[in-house]
Amino acid sequence: MPREIIKIPSALGFSNVEEVRHQITKLISAESPQEFILDFAEVESIDTAGVALIDYLNEFAPRFGTEITLTNVSKKISSAMDVFHLKKVFTPEKKEPPGFFEKTGDLFYKLKNSVGDILILLSNITYWSGLSIVRPKLRRKGEVIHQSILIGVNAFPIIALIAFLIGFILALQSAAQLRQFGANIYVADLVAIAMVSEMGPLITAIMVAGRSGSAIAAEIATMVVTEEIDALKVMGIDPAPYLVVPKVMAMSLVMPMLTIFANFIGIIGGMVIAITYLDLDILPFFNEVMSVLRYKELVTSIVKSLTFAFIIAVTAAYFGQKVKGGAEGVGKSTTSAVVFSIFFVIVADSILGLLFYFGETTF
């Protein structure tokens, strides 16, 4: 069997291993079948990459019917090789990806479990919310006020800005059409009805879901990951009344307020267009607003805001406690909480819209 001796450079490591590998593999693939002797006589140092090259060549050479033999390996080099040398070249086990039926089954199984979990969480929250009104000790002292400030008071500026812009744009888009028919004054009706019964509650809910729903989900998810929830449980404290109920209460308290505020600011936004573009005065505008708004619109607004508050808080709590993994899991939970909150809010808005539209019209 023909042999070829390859001299290995004095240092074999990260800096030159690719160069050496290229030379040797070229020889092996061009001159097979042969026995290649790697001469380590001049080698003074070897590192992980150097040893990896030997392991690599031991696997590579047989593919071309050749063998690799090492010679003149000093004690020092041999000792370093002992540390890193692969005892057995293994093929990493890779998990088989699930098939279509497995995926579908898994999806329905998870869906079933999720519905069950949400129902349990809902009943828990409802039970503990009721109980903690009569037994305030069940929730953290001052937590409802604290959460109300975080969710409500701190959100006033951004909600004011968004509501103003929505009212402004609604009026602007309709102004040109109304002007053609000399129906300038009806911009007040349009903005008032649209803001109070639809846009006010919806925009507030979307803002609160993005701002506070994400915060609640991230807080609870982080507490799960860092075992703080487990710590509460082993101290005999139920996390639902201790953590979630104050948030639900605070959100139910501040959402109607934020919605009423958003309605008012939105109407102001519409009024700016009415005054500047449609030449209306403040008083006729407000008279028209007051004449068109009935209790029904106000009740719709409040009922929607309360429903949305409950949806956002429960969805955020649900995704927060379902977290898996570490930092990445927290991110996923937070994203899911916001996306599903907004989705459920819009679904609920449609259902409530239909109920109020086809329901009793006189208040």
Q: Which of 211, 329, 335, 339 binds another protein (CB under 8 A)?
A: 329
Choices 43-51, 137-145, 152-160, 166-174 (CB under 8 A): range interacting with another protein: 43-51
89 or 234: whose CB is closer to another protein? 89
Terminal C-alpha separation, the chain: 103
Backbone angles phi, psi at 12, to 5 degrees: -120, 110
44 or 281: whose CB is closer to another protein? 44
225 or 257: whose CB is closer to another protein? 225
By CB under 8 A, the residues from 76 to 95 that bind another protein are 79-80, 82-90, 92-95
Is 74 a binding residue for another protein by CB under 8 A? The answer is no
Choices 48-56, 146-154, 231-239, 242-250 (CB under 8 A): range interacting with another protein: 48-56
Query: Is residue 1 helix, strand or coil?
Result: coil
Q: Which residues contact 315 (CB under 8 A, 6 or more apart)?
A: 213, 337, 340, 341, 344
Q: Which residues contact 332 (CB under 8 A, 6 or more apart)?
A: 323, 325
Which runs of consecutive H residues, i.e. helices, occur in 135-213? Answer: 143-151, 156-180, 186-194, 200-208
Is 228 a binding residue for another protein by CB under 8 A? The answer is no
Residue with tokens 């692969």: 86
Choices 35-43, 46-54, 136-144, 150-158 (CB under 8 A): range interacting with another protein: 46-54
Choices 202-210, 232-240, 293-301, 327-335 (CB under 8 A): range interacting with another protein: 327-335
Residue 355: how many other CB atoms lie within 10 Å: 12
Is 328 a binding residue for another protein by CB under 8 A? The answer is yes
**Environment class of residue 268 by beta-carbon count within 10 Å: exposed (0-12), middle (13-18) or buried (19+)?**
middle
Total chain residues near another protein (CB under 8 A): 34
Is 356 a binding residue for another protein by CB under 8 A? The answer is no
Choices 41-49, 198-206, 244-252, 300-308 (CB under 8 A): range interacting with another protein: 41-49
227: left (phi over 0), alpha (psi -120 to 50) or beta: left
Task: Please list the residues that pair with 46 across neighbouring strands.
Answer: 12
Q: Which of 4, 6, 11, 21 binds another protein (CB under 8 A)?
A: 21
Binding site for another protein (CB under 8 A): 13-14, 17-18, 21, 47-49, 51-53, 55-56, 79-80, 82-90, 92-95, 324-329
